[in-house]
Amino acid sequence: MGAIIIGLAAGVVCLWGVNGLKRLLGADDSLDVFGVHGVGGILGAVLTGVFTAPGLGGTGGDDFSIGGQVVTQITAVAVTIAWSGIVAFIAYKVVDMVVGLRVAEEDEREGLDIASHGESAYRT
């Protein structure tokens, strides 16, 4: 039952992440990856701590504390966000140093379809 509730809540929160949060942050997330996987994953991870409670059908033991488990889940989410951010930043810097992140200004003006692939994507 907990999984159904988490899934329903995640659906609503992911919709907000894709429409509201993306606009609020001004993020360029064309595939809505963070709005779906990031926001939904964070909510699912935190709510897993709630629904582990034996009274809600979970597998927690006699000394289980929803508050303690939610704090543990939030800590794990924070560590995951920090780790992912640090590794992504390092990868970003390595790629920038090795091959660069920008194309030449002339290629951008000409159009990347012509500069990169040698053909036009649209007839002009």
pLDDT exceeds 70 at position 100: yes
pLDDT in tens, 52-69: 998 888 888 888 899 999
Q: How far apart are CA 118 and CA 107, in angstroms?
A: 11
Q: What is the pLDDT of residues 3-27, one digit of tens each?
A: 999 999 999 999 999 999 888 988 8
Q: Are 56 and 63 in contact (CB under 8 A)?
A: no
Q: Are 36 and 42 spatial neighbours (Cβ–Cβ below 8 Å)?
A: no
- Taking the whole predicted model, whether its pTM rises above 0.85 is answered as no
- Report yes or no: 75 and 64 within 8 Å, Cβ to Cβ: no
* CA-based end-to-end distance of the chain: 57
Residue 99 has what DSSP assignment?
T
